[in-house]
Amino acid sequence: MTENNNKNKIIVGISGGVDSSVAAMLLKEKGYDVEALFMKNWNDQTEDGKCLWEDDVEDAMQVCDKLDIPLNTVDLSKDYWEKVFKNFLAEYKNGRTPNPDILCNKEIKFKAFLKHAENLGAKKIATGHYARINSMENSTQLLKSVDNNKDQSYFLCCLNQSQLHKTLFPIGNLYKNDVRKLAKDGDLVTHNKKDSTGICFIGEQPFRNFLSNFIQPQRGLIKTVDGKTIGEHDGIFFYTLGQRQGLGIGGVKNATDAPWYVVKKEIDNNELIVAQDHDHPL
């Protein structure tokens, strides 16, 4: 394949992790004209003064050097803030617990990223997601990965037909341990790199401290479903419906030893409602 043959040009969203590294390697081995594109979506620094993405882009550079494919970068931090993170904060302020990965996939990875890849001449993009695509004559289906433990199809549920049609998931038919083995056999620096966790593109940070940078916490009362005050919370947006750990409730008079669960968040009153029944109707 030649670089001028755009029909076969695929741009891989490379994160500096093992999954996207192997996705790029597999496509290169199949003869596609492969380029990599690294997204910078968050610009805050860690305590040691490094940007959160710096280590990842260094790994991405080493992978691309090994595979002999070009590496492009794009700064989508403004898009991420406007289209994902603002919504993330608004949901927390309203007492809900959002999943930013779903919106991030819809608006950033498979929209803003896709647009930039098309501007670079790509006909399709590829990522290291654990999911599969079934292309039919009139539609494209999103399918679960063969690896149920790593399946990410849920986080891709809001992709439309156009986005799916322009996307490849090269590792969707593989298990995680096979992906790591392929990376090791291919001498990729990411073969033993720890899987990323935490908020999409923001990474692992003490969540309460991080969220408090953007939402001012306000202490309030913890009450039972019948209105009895049994404690105080640190800020209602720190808690999730169904949460059991970290409530700081103990020694409640006339209560059983059964665990307490968050069953409702009263935003207007800044009150956390709890019950000793995980299946409480609230």
CB 220 within 8 A of CB 270: yes
Whether 265 contacts 254, CB under 8 Å: no
Q: Give the span between the Cα atoms of 30 and 125, in whole angstroms.
A: 15
- Structure confidence at residue 4 (pLDDT): 45
- Amino acid letter at 169? F
- 32: pLDDT strictly greater than 50: yes
pLDDT in tens, 206-250: 778 888 889 888 999 999 999 999 999 989 988 999 998 888 887
Structure confidence at residue 7 (pLDDT): 66
User: Which neighbouring-strand residues pair with 265?
Assistant: 272
pLDDT digits (tens, 9 = 90+) for 178-194: 999 999 999 999 999 98
Q: Residues 35-43: what's their mean pLDDT?
A: 91
- Of 135-144, 159-168, 254-263, least confident by mean pLDDT is 254-263
Taking 3-state DSSP, the helix, strand and coil percentages for the chain, each rounded to the nearest 5, stand at 35, 20, 45
Domains of the chain and CATH, by start: 6-207 (3.40.50.620), 220-275 (2.30.30.280)
> Angle formed by the axes of helices 18-29 and 54-67, to 10°?
20
Percent of the chain predicted with pLDDT > 70: 88
pLDDT at position 97 is: 86
Termini Cα distance of the chain: 60
No. of H helices and E strands in the chain? Answer: 9, 11
Which residues are annotated as catalytic? 104, 200
Distance of CA 4 to the CA centre of its chain: 34
With tokens 């959002």, the residue in question is 98
Specify the pTM.
Answer: 0.85
